[in-house]
Amino acid sequence: MGAAAGLGVALPFGVPPILAALFGGAAAGIALAVRQAAGLRVVADEECLAVRGGSSGLSSRWQDLRIGFGLVERRDGGLQRYAVVADPQGRSFAFAEMGGGAAAVPVRGADGRPVEVVDLREAALLLAVAVQRIPSWETLPESIRHERVPEASPAALGGPPAPAAARRTPPRAGFWGMLATLGSKVMGAIGKLGAGALKVAKTASLPWAAASAATYAILFSWKFALAIMVQLFVHEYGHVHAMRRTGMRVRGMYFLPFVGALAVTDDSFRSRRQQAYVALSGPIWGSLLALVPAALYAWTRDPSWAAVAAWWALINLFNLLPIAPLDGGRVMQAFAFSWSSNVGFAFSVMALLAAVALGASMGFSLLWFVALLGTLELFAEAQSRAGGMALRLLPEPARFGRAQWVYLRAVVGPPPGSPTEPLFLRQLERQERAASAVPMRAGEAIRWGIAYAGLAAALVLVLWLLRHVPGASAAAGVLT
């Protein structure tokens, strides 16, 4: 809405549409942040719960709180489940997950005064923390109260696997046998990669891919369009391969005209090392592919191969810019969040501001679009960060599994089996992984930092070496 308002106000004055939408959205985001900071906030830590803002004034240690539940009528005539906590003075706070529905009528607090039922997106999280911190296990059904989530195997938790049976040492093979074995392994690896690439290609949206190819063909040529689409596919397949290798679920690969492509996962990173590995895999695969036309140019001296190599190198170098959601931004986030969550969040904000400034100074509108996507991702990161902080307050997190979370949500919101339940469980899984994400050790950060800097330097070197070749000079000129 802010972006639309920015367009409406700025277009009569000749302001570029993307810039107007970006600043309109930024102004709306600042206004929303100020409104939330000045409004009601629920603040929890290991010792106490406090409700700041509004008329509740509740603030007490967990063990002094009481919790209750009820059913209240909404203003549209429907019924809404809610929970209410009260301190020893009777000050009460009622909350529920209304899912964007109509507000509920006020309920009576422990001190007899009317209390507004606040719509909390993370109502189930607050209820879970309250049940374990107060504690108030008696509010849960008998079947859930004493049920524990089965423990995972040591291998699933990252520990050493169970000892394998002793294996017989294979007999030594001669040179030709070793060569045949190596060849079969290489061919098997190529076959697996080809099968994986074909599987990913089936998940790509063909209309969007065709639209992207047509866009590049109209703006440049069909040969250039084909080269760009090949690079984008290999680059994104590098991400997909890394995701699958680390056990992440891949939703698919998507092409976007004027923007590029992206690989989407339904999971979140289990560690910051995994985040850096997945982020750098795309530029590594794309850069290795760029060496093929570079070698063909060195062999044939055909300038068309140099042009392909230069543009492929530039695409991967652009992705290494330290701006989320670009690959370089994700690598830098892995470094910053390993230091502390506040440092990571601050770095993300500064990178977005730098992207806007760089786009404005260079007249590169794609950077403004990247900044807009990064802002949306930053909001999602902030939500996962808040949910992860709440999950870390659970003294016994293993007591709550899928069934328990569905029940807790039903106590204050939609019933089990509601259409929004899969989204709730997926978001909860991301928050759990955000809460348990393992930071990088110092040695890991140094190694991945060297890999990031070395890859960027290699790509700059390729562009510099090809800067005088016709066709490649345009790509190299972007750096100047």
d(CA 194, CA 201): 10
| CA–CA distance, 136 with 418 (Å, rounded to integer) | 26
User: So where are the chain's domains?
Assistant: 2-6+14-38, 41-144, 203-477
pLDDT at 112: 87
Encoded amino acid at 331, one letter = V
CA distances from 87 to 90, 107, 108, 317, 479 (A): 5, 16, 14, 57, 62
Q: Give the pTM.
A: 0.64
Q: How far apart are CA 58 and CA 86, in angstroms?
A: 7
Please give the span between the terminal C-alpha atoms of the chain, in angstroms, as a whole number: 37
Tell me, what's the pLDDT at 20? 72
Give the number of other CB atoms < 10 A from CB of residue 271.
19
- Is 67 strand, coil or helix? strand
Closest by Cα among 78, 123, 113 to 92: 113
Residue 229 amino acid letter: M
Length of the chain: 480
Alpha carbon distance 308, 460 (integer Å): 15
Give the pLDDT score at 166.
37
Could you count the other beta carbons within 10 Å of the beta carbon of residue 100?
Answer: 8
Torsion of CA 46, 48, 52, 55, to 10 degrees: 150
- Residue 95 near residue 413, CB atoms below 8 Å: no
Query: In the chain, which residues have pLDDT < 70?
Result: 11, 15, 17-19, 33-38, 54, 141-206, 208, 340-342, 356, 358-369, 380-384, 476, 478-480
Q: Is the dihedral of CA 254, 347, 429, 104 positive or negative?
A: negative
| Three-class secondary structure of residue 22 per DSSP | helix
pLDDT digits (tens, 9 = 90+) for 157-169: 233 343 443 333 4
Q: Residue 54's CB: how many other CB atoms inside 10 A? A: 14
Torsion of CA 249, 254, 260, 262, to 10 degrees: -10
- Residue 379 one-letter amino acid: F
